[in-house]
Amino acid sequence: MLEKLPDGYNAVVIGSTGEIGAAILGRLRTDKRCANAIGLSRGTIPAVDYNAPDSLQDAAMQQKAGLGEIHFLFIATGILASSDGASPEKAFSQLTQESLSEEFAINASGPALALSAFMPLLPRNAPFIVASLSARVGSIGDNGLGGWISYRASKAALNQIMHTAAIELGRKNDQAVCVSLHPGTIESDLSRPFARDRFTHTADECAAILLSVLSNLTPAQNGGFFDYAGEEIVW
Ligand SMILES: NC(=O)c1ccc[n+]([C@@H]2O[C@H](COP(=O)([O-])OP(=O)(O)OC[C@H]3O[C@@H](n4cnc5c(N)ncnc54)[C@H](OP(=O)(O)O)[C@@H]3O)[C@@H](O)[C@H]2O)c1
């Protein structure tokens, strides 16, 4: 698993209390080559809360002091329904400023600020992988259905953020791999109300599959958007 990373690599999972994030962290903790696998979320110490952006800088500083470099950064945060309990929009008539702002804050701005805080911990002269959980519905080219406007648009923004980060990281280190991932439909608090039991995998299966996809990526694929089958998704 993650064979291209150095022996004794350090890993950080942001969103480690989520269904997929917890499963990724659990898998990393079974990897003998992984020296440290740290989970961060709103419930950990230090806590990471996108509504309190300083928490990202504080958490990154702590990891820098504790780990030095990190070679694997996995961002597993996200929301689908907004906190007011409203379902994802089926039409523009249902859009509210609050739900748009919240989806962009958690799904796009939060990961962008996480990258800003944690990028200085990525190695300059060794391979590393940065991955963020996006969603296929964030693809403009694949959008034949419409709806879920705030979620789709915030994931499209996340994809642009990840692609832009990949360019910056690739300039500093030609061994960089920084990608967006679509995990499939996985049973979780986020998906349960909307997935109609059409789950592709369990969270643990998903974690194994995504780690395998990431293991097979090379720096030539830096900046891409991949699904759980390892297939590139159109932007
Ligand atoms: N499940 C699916 O079928 C599916 C499909 C496509 C894409 N995805 C994407 O995969 C990612 C993870 O989904 P999941 O199913 O594992 O969801 P989940 O179980 O609901 O986990 C969501 C995670 O996001 C964190 N989070 C929410 N608001 C936050 C905030 N303000 N600050 C920091 N962290 C916050 C949660 O932390 P707390 O524990 O503190 O709330 C939790 O760790 C999401 O980006 C989702 O869009 C999932």
In the prediction, which pLDDT does 165 show?
A: 98
In the prediction, which pLDDT does 196 show?
A: 80
- The best mutation among 13, 16, 38, 41 to test binding of ligand 1, ranked by most ligand atoms within 8 Å of the C-beta, falls on 41
Distance 21 CA to ligand 1 centre (A): 8
In the prediction, which pLDDT does 56 show?
A: 98
103 Cβ below 6 A of ligand 1: no
Cα–Cα dist 8/103, whole Å: 36
- The best mutation among 13, 20, 210 to test binding of ligand 1, ranked by most ligand atoms within 8 Å of the C-beta, falls on 20
**22-50 as b/e, with b when 16 or more CB fall inside 10 Å?**
bbbbbbbeebeebebbbbbbeeeeeebeb
Query: CB under 8 Å to 39, separation ≥6 — which residues?
Result: 12, 13, 16, 17, 21, 22, 25
Q: Is residue 115 assigned to a domain? A: yes
191 Cβ below 6 A of ligand 1: yes
Distance 192 CA to ligand 1 centre (A): 12
My answer on whether omega of the bond before 127 falls inside 30° of 0, hence cis, is: no
In total, how many domains does the chain have?
1
Q: Is residue 149 assigned to a domain? A: yes
In the prediction, which pLDDT does 228 show?
A: 97
Residue 213: enclosing H or E segment and its boundaries? helix 203-216
Q: Which ligand 1 atom is nearest residue 49's CA?
A: 32
pTM above 0.95, yes or no: yes
Q: Is residue 233 assigned to a domain? A: no
Q: Is residue 3 assigned to a domain? A: no
Q: Is residue 205 assigned to a domain? A: yes
Q: Is residue 129 assigned to a domain? A: yes
Residue 165: enclosing H or E segment and its boundaries? helix 149-172
In the prediction, which pLDDT does 85 show?
A: 86
Residue 151: enclosing H or E segment and its boundaries? helix 149-172
Q: Is residue 211 assigned to a domain? A: yes
| Residue-number span of the structural domain to which 184 is assigned | 9-227
Q: Is residue 4 assigned to a domain? A: no
Summarised one tens digit per residue, pLDDT across range 114-171 is 999 999 999 999 999 999 999 999 999 999 999 999 999 999 999 999 999 999 999 9
139 Cβ below 6 A of ligand 1: no
- Ligand 1: which residue has its CA nearest to atom 25? 77
Specify the CATH number for the domain of residue 210. Answer: 3.40.50.720
Cα–Cα dist 75/108, whole Å: 11
pLDDT < 50: residue spans in the chain? none
In the prediction, which pLDDT does 60 show?
A: 98
